[in-house]
Structure 1
Amino acid sequence: MCTSPIGRPREFDAEAALEKAMAVFWAQGYEGASLTDLTEAMGISRKSLYAAYGNKEDLFRKALQRYELGPGAYVADALRAPTAREVAMAFLAGSARANTLPGLPAGCLGVQGALATGETGRVARDVLAAWRAGGQGLLRDRFRQAVAEGDLPSDADPEKIARYVMTIANGVAVQAAGGATCEELQQVADAALRNWPPA
């Protein structure tokens, strides 16, 4: 006779479930993603969600970390490029690719996750603003290094260059969400880099 254990929690793949939560937040934003949407996509109960990930805000933070290590991994890769111009090129090319990945929502979780939120989405908006500022800070520090090494002119402003690159990348995300293709976005990135300061 076959019996099933009573009271045993259902096993699930926490990483696969987090990947699904990331896609829900990416497609619907923080406020638009209801707990029902999240639990259905993840294939778990609310109780399991709270036990494994904490509340919705905690889950969102974990999903953003997952995004950073997955589709957003191009940022870390770009920062390792040998010259400042190649950093910017890799950053913008990576943005164009990540924002148009087949089978995933168009655009960027970090840009669209909380652009238009009410009071209940304030935490997500603040988390994403800090996340984007952190990315810009990484670019700024890399460009400061480029000035110190003579790869950028001594009078170049690393903060302004980082903001420029980040602004283009954020625009790429918005355009991707509107249906622009990777090739079209790469053309934008190429055009933006024509203004790159000479060494």
Structure 2
Amino acid sequence: MRLFWDRGYDGTSFDDLIATMGISASSFYNAFGSKEALYHEAIDTYMSVAGAWLFAILNEDADTRTVFQDLTTAAASEFTRDDLPAGCMISVAATQCSPAQTRLRDLLASHRTRSEDAMADRLRKGVEAGDLPAGTDIGALAAFYGSLLRGMAVQARDGASRERLLEIARIGMQAWPAGQARSV
């Protein structure tokens, strides 16, 4: 997972994989079948381990603005951890790939869509709870915060510090619909 996260699918060679895992080519094929099959496993692992923070925060028992503030500030920390590659594997991987890899591009796009859909679901709960106006454009607001998080992931990948990402998160929260409850 870390190798794919750090180098992307196309940037990770078969030789890199077997050297990192310390196994032979035949063992690799017996265990995983193909590089693409292993990549799918790596994405699933990422989503259940490294990406779980996003869904956990969206399920917090707090007002919606606080949840999204927590989401953006947590992203700043998660994307700049010392023990993992910078950014988000799903955000920075396979936005551009060879025509032969469109399945992988589509897979990662579906994961990005799933995250944005989860944000939209949380925003709908905010409308139902009354901490967002009934006329809130849920789709646009979810797309905005999804784009903000993906942009922060790219910034981290490019070397932005945690402090810089926290400032981006703070500015991003200024887009929150006016007149709603603000956390202290």
Q: TM-score, normalised by structure 2?
A: 0.90
- Over alpha carbons, which structure has the higher Rg? 1
Runs of 4+ in 1 over 3 A off after TM superposition: none
- In the TM superposition, what is the alpha-carbon distance from 1:183 to its structure 2 partner? 1.3
Partner of 2:15: 36
Q: Which residue of 1 aligns with 2:26?
A: 47
Matching residue of 1:162: 142
| Structure-2 residue corresponding to 1:59 | 38
Per the alignment, residue 89 of structure 1 pairs with 69
Offset from partner CA, 1:49-103 (integer Å, 9 cap, x none) = 2332332222111111111122212111111122211221122122212211113
SS at match of 1:38: helix
User: Number of residue pairs matched?
Assistant: 178
Partner of 1:151 in structure 2? 131
- What one-letter code is carried by the residue in structure 1 that aligns with 2:174? R
In the TM superposition, residue 174 of structure 1 has moved relative to its aligned partner by 0.7
Pairing partner for 2:156 from 176, 179, 189? 176
- Say whether residues 1:70 and 2:45 are aligned partners: no
SS for the counterpart of 1:71 is coil
Q: Is the 1:57–1:123 Cα contact (8 Å) retained in structure 2?
A: no
Asked whether 1:132 is paired with 2:112, we answer yes
The two structures, once aligned, show a CA RMSD in angstroms of: 1.4
In the TM superposition, what whole-angstrom CA distance separates every residue of 1:119-158 from its partner, at most 9, and x where no partner exists?
2322211111010001000110111111112121111111
The structure whose RCO (Cα within 8 Å, separation 6+) is larger is 2
Distance 2:100 2:79 in 1: 26
Structure 1 unaligned spans of 5+ = 1-21
Judge conservation of contact 1:110–1:132 (CA < 8 Å) in 2: yes
Match of 2:82 in 1: 102
Gaps of 5+ in 2: none
Question: TM-score, normalised to structure 1's length?
Answer: 0.84
Question: Partners of 2:67 and 2:33 in 1: how far apart?
Answer: 36
How many percent of aligned residue pairs carry the same amino acid? Answer: 35
Contact 1:31/1:120 (8 A) holds in 2: no
- Residue in 2 that maps onto 1:14: none
